[in-house]
Each structure stands twice: as C-alpha cells, then as structure tokens.
Amino acid sequence: MKLYFHGGAQTVTGANYLLEIGGKKILVDCGLNQGSRFCEELNFEPFPYKPKDIDALFITHAHIDHIGRVPKLKREGFREQIYSTPPTKDFAELMLIDSEHILNQEAQHLKRNPLYTTADIIKALGSWEAVPYHHKLDFEGFSATFYDAGHILGSGFIVFEGEGKKIVFSGDLGNTPDPILKPTETISDADYCLIESAYGGRVHEDEPSRKAILKDVIESTVKSKGTLMIPAFALERAQEILYELNSLVEHKRIPKVPVFLDSPLAISLTAVYKKYGSYFNVETQKIIKSGDQIFNFSGLHLTMTTEQSKEINKVPNPKIIIAGSGMSQGGRILHHERRYLSDHNSTVLFVGYQVAGSLGRKILNGENVVRIFGEDIPVRCKVKAIGGYSSHADQPLLLKWLKPMKKSLRKVFAVQGEPEESGALANKIKEELGIPAEVPQLDSFYELA
C-alpha cells in the first residue's frame, strides 16, 4: 500500500491524497488551494499524477477545499466514478456551479485560462454516485465505507480496507455537539489514519456562550437602531445561524426585527438541508416533528435577486443581514459593508474563521479604514466575533476521536492544518496516545507495510 500527499499537507486547504491499494489507484478529495485569495495560483498547475490512471475518486464532504478541483480532474482525463454521500453530491453541484464565476474572475486576474467550464462540472456530476453512511462498497482489491464525520451535513470519514490493512481518511471532523448534526462517529480499529488538524493545537471556547453572544449582539444593535451584518459561509454556517435565530425568535428571546438571508447560494443549500431530515440529530428531528420549520421564522426574508438585495437598503433600521462571502472576499456582504461599516450604530459580527489578508480579517484586526470597490470606507461600527461557531474539532476532540483506535494504529498523519497546528497535534498524539505521528510534506509518499 502506498500513500501520496498531493494536497492538504502542512496547509488547511487543497486536500488531495492518492492511495495505491489492492492494485488500484484511488484519490481521496480533490480540493481547491485557498489562501488570501479564493483560488491560489497553485490550482492551475497540472496534477502530479495522470488523471486518466486513477481508478476512483472518493469525496469526504462538499466544502470547496475538498471538491474545488474535481471538474479540473475530469477535464484533464479522469474517466472513472466519483463516490460521496447523497447530501455531499447535492451540495457539490450547487457549490461548484456557484464558484465557477469567481474562478473565472481569478483566472483573468492571474492571466490564466479558466480552471474548468460548466460542461466539466456537468460531466463530473454525471459519473458521481451517492452512497449512504455504513454501506460497504466492494471493489476488486479493496472496499470503502463512509461514516458520519459530524462536520457539515453529509460529511464523512472514509475507511478503506485492502491488502489485509485498514486506513482511515478523516476528512474534516465536527465540533461535537453540533446544534443540528449528529455526533461524530468513531471506529474501534485501523492500521493507519490521516487526521485533520485545522485546530490541532487549540481548545475552543465554551459552547453555550455562542447563542448568548448572538442574543446580546442582536439586542444591542436593535437598541441602537443599527444594522447587524453577519458575513457567513453559505454552507452550514448560514444554516446554523438561521437555526439559532429560529430558536431565539420562537422563544421570544429577541425583539422582532427583519432578518435578510441575502445569498442565493445559501438559500439553495438550505433547501437541500430540508431533503435530509434523517441526517439531523435527535433533538433537531424532534423539533421538526413538532411542526417547527427549523430554518424559517416570522420576519425572515430570502432575497434571491440583485433587485431584492438592493431593496434591503430601503428597509429602516434595525435589521439583520446574513450574506456571503464568509470572509468578505466577495459577494453581497460587500455592498452592505460599504454602506454600514461607517455607521457607529451598526455592528458587524464574525462567526467564522477570517484568513490573513482577507477584508474580514482587516476589519476584525481593528483597521480604521478599509477599501471596498475602490473606495475608502471608515470603520466606525462595532466589531464582534463568536469563535465557538467553528465546525472543526479542537485538539481534545481530535484526540478523543483517535483514542478507540489507539491499540491498532501503527501511524497517524496530521493533515489539513497550518504547520504549527499539525505539529502540535502530532506531538500530542505521540505523548498522550503513544502512537507514531507525522506531519507529511507536500507531495511526499509513504510505503505502508
């Protein structure tokens, strides 16, 4: 068995692993490399393997740093099947189509040809098979099974068995307990494991505080008659915020105020969530059975068109606007930020990670003036953040997930993290669990005996 790290090594994004097992070459994830830009130049380089030689592609979940280069793989000669859970397939379609125009803009900026076209996306979806959790897929020479990773709806970790060995690819692991998802599953044995380490060196703040912070921020914005802007990722984060708002509204814990979900992508993705009721946790399923629509409440407006989005400006304060992109690198949030960042009665609330160099990070770092659409905008509004909204497991949760496999694991690879985070996790795995652990280099390979 041979394992190649062609992405996600010493970096959070661009997950792409090649496994040779039972005489076959398979890939796990084919994500976009992302940094201060939506799409880094690295994505335009050819793959370090021949796509036509690959026998199958397995996708852990639908975040763009795990699926963003799938159409490129197809374009460059990959001919075989793609496998993921059913929600991942549905989300992937919406995410890939949505990101295409941003990718085209980035390609123009870098003076490159587009990474792929809509036709490549359609071709990829045509050979994409949806497989439920726990269904063992048997191939010549190996098998594959998806388990619930609890990170976003439909996210999976994948167990491959072949050549008398078992290897686990964690994908991204959830920050259990999650407000809507089931807890991350565990398995009791494996020989090798790749584990994500985005927060491999950190401990998240206490979970209950996030709903309380959200409530406080809404109350104070309403009191000062301002606008509350929430830049949010369209997949999972937007739905989590809607879920919390639904609960706060239904229990009359916040004043009545119009809420705008100003993101066509988030609106379409939310519709997919409604298809997969059985994927939610027990409490959420109970709420749904009681007749409550968990992502809908009085005062919520979904704005699909640009015209509807512009109309939001005319609605008097106070109001709440949830819009993408999550790090203010583009999208409708920029129009709202241009208008309301200079208003000292308004608030911007960050509910997700803000990468260095992004507009979101600049605002969060307290810059007094930021540039939006070529205009200098003074930042006079309140700036708040809720850290506990991470959908990634922190160090204690990552160790807890590995523990049941402690006796059988021969080596663990810490991936999908910045070098310090991956290194901190690898050290802890060695010290606390006594398992050999490494942080692989990009494009390195290992012979797994």
Report, in Å, the least distance between residue 235 CB and Zn ion: 9
CA-based nearest residue to 231, from 182, 183, 266: 266
How many residues make contact with Zn ion (CB under 5 A)? Answer: 2
Contact 378, 344 (CB under 8 A): no
Tokens (6 digits) for 77: 């000669």
Report, in Å, the least distance between residue 76 CB and Zn ion: 24
Report, in Å, the least distance between residue 116 CB and Zn ion: 21
CA-based nearest residue to 38, from 122, 129, 108, 87: 108
Specify the residue, 67 or 405, whose C-beta has the smaller distance to Zn ion. Answer: 67
Specify the DSSP class assigned to residue 23: T
Report, in Å, the least distance between residue 152 CB and Zn ion: 6
Contact 414, 11 (CB under 8 A): no
CB atoms within 10 A of CB 185: 18
Q: What is the spatial distance between Cα 55 and Cα 53, in angstroms, rounded to a whole number? A: 6
Residues 369-398 that bind Zn ion (CB under 5 A): none
Q: Tokens 């098998």 label which residue?
A: 143
Per-residue interface string for the shown chain with Zn ion, residues 79-98, x marking contact by CB under 5 A: --------------------
- Does residue 237 belong to the site contacting Zn ion (CB under 5 A)? no
Specify the residue, 20 or 172, whose C-beta has the smaller distance to Zn ion. Answer: 172
Report, in Å, the least distance between residue 389 CB and Zn ion: 14
Specify the residue, 98 or 172, whose C-beta has the smaller distance to Zn ion. Answer: 172
Q: Which stretch binds Zn ion (CB under 5 A): 98-106, 168-176, 238-246, 341-349?
A: 168-176
Q: What is the spatial distance between Cα 409 and Cα 191, in angstroms, rounded to a whole number? A: 4
CA-based nearest residue to 441, from 3, 59, 1: 3
Ranges of beta strands (E only) in 316-444 are: 319-323, 347-350, 369-372, 375-378, 382-385, 411-415, 437-438
- DSSP for 170-193? --S---SSPSSBPPPP--S--SEE
Q: Which stretch binds Zn ion (CB under 5 A): 117-125, 165-173, 210-218, 351-359?
A: 165-173
- Return the half-sphere exposure (C-beta side, CA atoms, 13 A cut-off) of residue 315: 19
Specify the residue, 151 or 166, whose C-beta has the smaller distance to Zn ion. Answer: 151
CB atoms within 10 A of CB 3: 22
Specify the residue, 64 or 341, whose C-beta has the smaller distance to Zn ion. Answer: 64
Per-residue interface string for the shown chain with Zn ion, residues 55-74, x marking contact by CB under 5 A: --------x-----------
In the set 93, 106, 120, 172, which binds Zn ion (CB under 5 A)? 172
Specify the residue, 149 or 245, whose C-beta has the smaller distance to Zn ion. Answer: 149
At 283, the amino acid letter reads E
Specify the residue, 63 or 428, whose C-beta has the smaller distance to Zn ion. Answer: 63
Specify the residue, 120 or 172, whose C-beta has the smaller distance to Zn ion. Answer: 172
Specify the residue, 157 or 260, whose C-beta has the smaller distance to Zn ion. Answer: 157
For residue 161, the cross-strand partners are: 143, 166
Report, in Å, the least distance between residue 417 CB and Zn ion: 12
Report, in Å, the least distance between residue 61 CB and Zn ion: 6
Contact 431, 402 (CB under 8 A): no
Report, in Å, the least distance between residue 64 CB and Zn ion: 9
Instruction: State the Rg of the chain over Cα.
Output: 22
Report, in Å, the least distance between residue 383 CB and Zn ion: 25
Summarize as ranges the residues that interact with Zn ion (CB under 5 A): 63, 172
